[in-house]
Structure 1
Amino acid sequence: MTKDEVLFQRRVIDLANLADRRSMIMFSDFLNLNELNIYHSSKKELAFVTCRLFGGYETAERQMIAFIPDALSYDMEDTETKDGSLPYGWEFPFVCICIRPLHEKYTDKLTHRDFLGAILNIGIERNKIGDILLTDDGTYVFCHETMAELLCRELTHIRHTSVAAQITDLDSFSWQPVYETIHGTVASLRLDSLLSLAFGSSRSSLTSLVENGSIYVNGRLTTSNGYKLKNGDIISARGYGKFQFCSVLSETRKGRLSVEIKRYK
């Protein structure tokens, strides 16, 4: 690991120790895929607390960790949670903010990068911001609660578009990803075979992606091209996008597997 990665791992373990000493739940900031992978690789060092991951919705990429001491973790599993539920009324310290243009007629075609850049330009650090979801109804941003007021007050323009940002009810938030369903045949369920099908490139051209640490399966760094995927696995490829391996549909006479995947748009 790099020096920064070692420091991050120590920070995670320190938060777990603090939760244990104080008998209260402690939270990380929003973590990226690499940081989540470091967390997953540190499970043995964190065995004395229960950990929950949540990023606002079921398939969130950027997530927070809740470190739950034994005193509060009775009959709880060490796992991700779909709804962010925590014991004894605790809640993850982030809110959902909806950003909409003030005048639809004069709205630029804005991208994820436009929204992120505008948010960072008002002085909010990246680890205080979770996923940014662009929908037909508006753009939804998960933001640490300490930064929510600043974001809503200061975010008035994105490029040339005037916008308004306000906190929305997280309990009523729902989001369905937009994806393209792809059917094809592969020789096996190896990671490199499914990457080739998902992104329409040869296996050899994608080999370096895996070996260079650009592929994450369910948030865990995967560096083996021969890794066998399972139904429901979500694969993130830096610079390419994200897809979910759904299932094997059938087997051809030549022994190839007909599969279905969903590539997120």
Structure 2
Amino acid sequence: MSLYVHFRKEEHPFVDQVLEWKELVLDQYRPKLTDFLDPRQQEIVRSLVGHQDDLHVSSWGGHSDAERKRILLYPSYFEPDISDYDIVVFELEYPSKFITIEHRQILGALMNVGLKREKFGDILNNDIRFQVILAKEVADFVKWNFTSVGKSKISLREILTTDILSLKEQYTHLEVTVSSLRLDTVIAEVYKLSRSKVKPLIESGFVKVNWKVIEDPSFSLQVNDVLSVRGKGRCEFVSNNGKTKKDKWRINVRFPK
């Protein structure tokens, strides 16, 4: 049986990439550090590597609760250290008494300077303080080019990983009943939107599943999928609790508070 049957079609190119990383580590007997990967990609890497005596996997995203992480694939002789993940953390300095900035503005500003999403990890904040976790190889580029967020001028100050903001994410849970596990059906119920409004959102590229834009309203969801709708927030499909007497699915989702 092909290993591809365990993954969605849109994940096959990433599966091929992981297999190349594995081959490189085993053939050249040296570690391979990835860019920042989202949680689904991290899961795929770990499932493909499995438990092997001669190949190991570890990950780090700058802090213990990181969502996006760099993964290190390495041979058995290698003993990884935090420094091997090549991560730099910057804190934004800006006139916080006079200016308000938001997470989405920072994300947009980083993309606008030409930085690829896989080159930076989590963006942390406590409403006033903001921190950005970056791949070391782009740190100088970011420091020189990332100088504004919205209308506010900013500067960056490098900090130690021990000074990273500690943010434990909390959730609210919601159980909904849906006629099918189609993307448009679930979004309509979870976000309390009409199907007529949901379809254009999906087809316009405003919806992501597992951090990837999905433009097919009939896309079938699975447990552990993470959904995000632009302007409506993000949620995770936590569990499928079976069917009702009317043959509908009872599913549980959770939203970050």
TM-score normalised per structure 2:
0.64
- Tell me, yes or no, if structure 1 residue 99 matches structure 2 residue 92: yes
Matched AA of 1:94: I
Contact 1:96 1:141 in 2 (8 A): yes
Contact 1:248 1:259 in 2 (8 A): yes
Q: What secondary structure sits across from 1:67 in the alignment?
A: strand
CA shift, 1:135, in A, is 2.7
Q: 1:37 to 1:159 in 2, by over 3 A?
A: same
CA shift, 1:241, in A, is 3.5
Contact 1:13 1:46 in 2 (8 A): no
Which residue of 34, 37, 43 corresponds with 1:31? 37
Separation of aligned partners in 2, 1:41 and 1:60: 17
Residue identity over aligned pairs, in percent, reads 20
Deviation by residue 1:119-161 (Cα, 9 ceiling, x = unmatched): 3444533321122234324222110012223323443322321
Contact 2:18 2:45 in 1 (8 A): no
Which residue of 141, 148, 151 corresponds with 2:139? 148
CA shift, 1:163, in A, is 1.6
Which deviates the most, 238-247 or 187-196? Answer: 187-196
Separation of aligned partners in 2, 1:53 and 1:88: 10
Q: 1:200 to 1:24 in 2, by over 3 A?
A: same
Q: Which residue of 2 aligns with 1:115?
A: 106
Q: Which residue of 1 aligns with 2:25?
A: 19
Separation of aligned partners in 2, 1:24 and 1:168: 30
Q: Which residue of 2 aligns with 1:200?
A: 192
Q: Which residue of 2 aligns with 1:175?
A: 167
Q: Which residue of 2 aligns with 1:216?
A: 210
Q: 1:199 to 1:49 in 2, by over 3 A?
A: farther
Separation of aligned partners in 2, 1:191 and 1:56: 36
Contact 2:174 2:252 in 1 (8 A): yes
Contact 1:16 1:46 in 2 (8 A): no
Separation of aligned partners in 2, 1:25 and 1:44: 14
Separation of aligned partners in 1, 2:49 and 2:120: 28
Q: Which residue of 2 aligns with 1:79?
A: none
CA shift, 1:28, in A, is 1.0
Separation of aligned partners in 1, 2:105 and 2:199: 31
Q: 1:257 to 1:95 in 2, by over 3 A?
A: same
Q: What secondary structure sits across from 1:15 in the alignment?
A: helix
Deviation by residue 1:201-232 (Cα, 9 ceiling, x = unmatched): 468986996xx994339x9x9x87474x3xxx
Q: 1:52 to 1:45 in 2, by over 3 A?
A: closer
Separation of aligned partners in 1, 2:180 and 2:163: 37
Separation of aligned partners in 1, 2:45 and 2:193: 30
Q: What secondary structure sits across from 1:56 in the alignment?
A: coil
Equivalent pairs counted in the alignment come to: 236
- Unpaired runs of 5+ residues, structure 1, are 73-86
Q: What secondary structure sits across from 1:200 in the alignment?
A: coil
Separation of aligned partners in 2, 1:13 and 1:226: 25
Q: 1:187 to 1:115 in 2, by over 3 A?
A: closer
Q: What secondary structure sits across from 1:243 in the alignment?
A: strand
Separation of aligned partners in 2, 1:42 and 1:260: 25
Matched AA of 2:151: H
Which residue of 36, 42, 48 corresponds with 1:43? 48
Matched AA of 1:216: N
